[in-house]
Amino acid sequence: MMKAQPKQETVVVLDFGAQYGQLIARNIRQCRVYCQILPHNAPLEEIRRLNPMGIVLTGGPASVYENKAPRCDPAIYHSGIPILGICYGFQLMAHDLGGEVIPSPKREFGKTELQVLDGGDLFRGLNPQLIGWMSHGDIVRSLPEGFEITSQTNNTPVASFAHRAKRLFGVQFHPEVVHTPWGIEVLRNFLLDWCGCTGQWTMQSFVSSVVPIIQEKVGSERVLCALSGGIDSATVAALVHRAVGNQLVCVFVNHGFLRKYEAEDVRSTFTDHFDMMNLIYVDASDRFLTRLKGITSPEQKRKTIGEEFVRVFEEEANKLGKIPYLAQGTLYPDVIESGTVSAAKIKTHHNVGGLPEQMDFSLIEPLRDLFKDEVREVAQELGLPPAMTWRHPFPGPGLAIRILGDVTEERLSILREADAVLIEEIKKAGLYRQIWQTFAVLAPLRSVGVMGDQRTYAHPIILRAVTSEDGMTADWARIPFEVLEQIANRIVNEVDGVNRVAYDITSKPPGTIEWE
Ligand code: XMP
């Protein structure tokens, strides 16, 4: 495992099971300060290993006075490291340092008016009257010694507090959510004024720090990378290529379930644009289609495609002789999900492109500290074309899981064409970047329609377009009717085998983003 962590200003976020934990981390990084999320109970010793300039305690669903409430190592309060507690983190700090936290007679949820009593520290530069986002059932009734109240609301006598000499701060509101638009300033004030950060962490500095780390680790050996067409593997490939040039060998397995033009785009980007000598392209579409014959269950499809992928990849790798390193596009949310924080998983993503377990590789994961939007910045920095940098997320098993029921060549072709029309029109309408993901789904149904004087009996195409921050929750995108109309007209007219178009207006939850 490789730590792509240059010597830099670091802030530690202790996670108490917050809904918005990752959002806090992303906001801190927006202030150009690098941060890492650790579990709430990380011992001070472990925290110190990162040499942090500040600690942020997140919110969480528990109440601090409950027996099983999550705690932090109390030694952090006396470590001299500046601390900002948010919501639960604020209440915990109050409780641990001798203040009192009680159930609030009036719970506060949503936008709330906040009155700043002391604009000197975290509120520097802000108005004394603010609207912020509250979501809590407990309040801090009495302060620990040495603390002062810095803001209040109608129902919350202590909406924030400070102990300046010890550089300890707490806020009941959520500075990290969009409904607290000035919240980022509160975080910035904490980071820059109180932690002493300079805010110089950029993706440019990330690239220049990570390239020599890769070079040092790899030496004169070769590195293998599985390209999928997605932004993560493309960025890893470009980054490793920047570091070790043609010691990088990329294998791009086309399983036949890619979007229209995708395989060609990937090949031309890397061979023409990056002048990558060692790109092995394997068209295995027939092989995958044969393996999928008769399989209709989505989990079975995923499993079969995953296994076949590993087999093809291994065959290719074996031809290449011993390559000690494998570069992978693991991102920070994957690290958090599988490591420190227990997040409920709705669906196992048997990610195509996953590591063949029995193969003996040392991993290179230079993106494992980054969020998706940061990866996009790195991609831009490395000169990947915008079409690839901004491409919507795409599941490893590709179109195969967006065809409900049997996957056949004919169905694939229908879906690929419909999907291409949809994406073209969404781009034409200037909506592509505002939308997290848009795609077409083919349902194994047929219904009666009429075209010209002819009765038709054909498939419906279901359109899906969602907005989201991270794919964990999502809302259906409010695409203008005229754009939907144009998409529907074109699909029915241009794609044989389709006579109807429907638009899915389900959010996640209760739906998922994909249809499978
Ligand atoms: P769901 O359908 O669970 O999807 O709401 C959440 C997000 O995950 C993407 N997804 C995948 N991504 N490999 C991936 O890399 C996969 O196998 C996979 N399956 C789903 C999905 O497109 C959405 O963005």
In tens, the pLDDT along 73-111 reads: 999 999 999 999 999 999 999 999 999 999 998 888 899
Confidence of residue 340 (pLDDT cuts 50, 70, 90): very low
Annotation says 392 is catalytic: no
Whether the per-residue pLDDT at 296 is higher than 50: the answer is: yes
Domain-terminating residue out of 169, 194, 219? 194
Domain-terminating residue out of 389, 420, 447? 389
Is 319 within the bounds of a domain? yes
- In a shared domain, residues 128 and 222: no
- In a shared domain, residues 219 and 97: no
User: What is the 3-state secondary structure of 339-388?
Assistant: CCCCCCCCCCCCCCCCCCCCCCCEEECCCCCCCHHHHHHHHHHHCCCHHH
Cβ–ligand 1 contact at 160 (below 6 Å): no
- What's the average model confidence in pLDDT over 220-229? 94
Is 515 within the bounds of a domain? no
Instruction: Provide the percentage of residues in the chain whose pLDDT is more than 90.
Output: 82
Is 3 within the bounds of a domain? no
- In a shared domain, residues 181 and 91: yes
Nearest CA to ligand 1 atom 20: 395
Is 516 within the bounds of a domain? no
- In a shared domain, residues 126 and 162: yes
From 232, 259, 469, 514, mutation site for ligand 1 pocket: most ligand atoms within 8 A of C-beta: 514
- In a shared domain, residues 336 and 260: yes
Is 101 within the bounds of a domain? yes
Cβ–ligand 1 contact at 347 (below 6 Å): yes
* Per-residue pLDDT, 453: 86
Q: What is the CATH number of the domain that holds 265?
A: 3.40.50.620
Neighbour count for residue 182 (Cβ, 10 Å): 15
Cβ–ligand 1 contact at 351 (below 6 Å): yes
State how far the Cα of 423 lies from the Cα of 87, in Å rounded to an integer. 41
In degrees and rounded to multiples of 5, residue 376 shows phi and psi of -60, -40
Render 96-155 in DSSP notation, one character per residue.
HTT-EEEEEEEEEEEEEEEEES-TTSTTTTS-SEEEEEEEEEEEEEEPPTT-EEEEE-SS
- In a shared domain, residues 359 and 432: no
Q: Which domain holds residue 165?
A: 10-194
Whether the per-residue pLDDT at 339 is higher than 60: the answer is: no
Confidence of residue 452 (pLDDT cuts 50, 70, 90): confident
User: Are the CB atoms for 232 and 329 separated by under 8 Å?
Assistant: yes
Confidence of residue 357 (pLDDT cuts 50, 70, 90): low
* Per-residue pLDDT, 236: 97
Q: Separation of 73 CA from ligand 1 center, angstroms?
A: 36
Query: How distant is the alpha carbon of residue 506 from its chain centre?
Result: 21
Q: Separation of 433 CA from ligand 1 center, angstroms?
A: 18
- In a shared domain, residues 224 and 313: yes
- Which atom of ligand 1 is nearest the CA belonging to 350? 17
- In a shared domain, residues 137 and 48: yes
Annotation says 176 is catalytic: yes
Nearest CA to ligand 1 atom 10: 395
State how far the Cα of 72 lies from the Cα of 14, in Å rounded to an integer. 8
Q: Separation of 378 CA from ligand 1 center, angstroms?
A: 22
Whether the per-residue pLDDT at 478 is higher than 50: the answer is: yes
- In a shared domain, residues 280 and 148: no
Is 27 within the bounds of a domain? yes
User: Are the CB atoms for 57 and 92 separated by under 8 Å?
Assistant: yes
Q: What is the CATH number of the domain that holds 468?
A: 3.30.300.10
Cβ–ligand 1 contact at 265 (below 6 Å): no
Is 341 within the bounds of a domain? yes
Q: Separation of 348 CA from ligand 1 center, angstroms?
A: 9
Q: What residues contact 440, with CB distance under 8 A and at least 6 apart?
A: 402, 415, 418, 419, 422, 461, 462, 463, 464, 491
pLDDT 10s digits, 406-422: 999 999 999 999 999 99
* Per-residue pLDDT, 359: 67
Query: 174, 255, 392, 459: which one is catalytic?
Result: 174
Q: Given its phi and psi angles, is residue 227 left (phi above 0), alpha (psi -120 to 50 degrees) or beta?
A: beta
pTM of the model: 0.81
From the list 243, 353, 205, the residue with the least C-alpha distance to 2 is 243
Whether the per-residue pLDDT at 433 is higher than 90: the answer is: yes
- Which atom of ligand 1 is nearest the CA belonging to 512? 5
Q: What is the CATH number of the domain that holds 102?
A: 3.40.50.880
- In a shared domain, residues 112 and 74: yes
CA-angle at 298, arms to 441 and 464, nearest 5°: 25
Whether the per-residue pLDDT at 272 is higher than 50: the answer is: yes
State how far the Cα of 386 lies from the Cα of 377, in Å rounded to an integer. 11
Cβ–ligand 1 contact at 514 (below 6 Å): yes
State how far the Cα of 178 lies from the Cα of 105, in Å rounded to an integer. 27
User: What is the 3-state secondary structure of 181-243?
Assistant: CCHHHHHHHHHHHHCCCCCCCCHHHHHHHHHHHHHHHHCCCCEEEEECCCHHHHHHHHHHHHH
Q: Structural domain tally of the chain?
A: 3
User: Are the CB atoms for 460 and 494 separated by under 8 Å?
Assistant: no
By residue count, the chain amounts to: 516
Domain-terminating residue out of 360, 389, 418? 389
- Which atom of ligand 1 is nearest the CA belonging to 392? 24
Annotation says 349 is catalytic: no
Is 446 within the bounds of a domain? yes
Nearest CA to ligand 1 atom 14: 395
- In a shared domain, residues 304 and 420: no
Q: Separation of 49 CA from ligand 1 center, angstroms?
A: 34
Nearest CA to ligand 1 atom 9: 395
Nearest CA to ligand 1 atom 11: 395
- In a shared domain, residues 218 and 353: yes
User: Are the CB atoms for 358 and 402 separated by under 8 Å?
Assistant: no
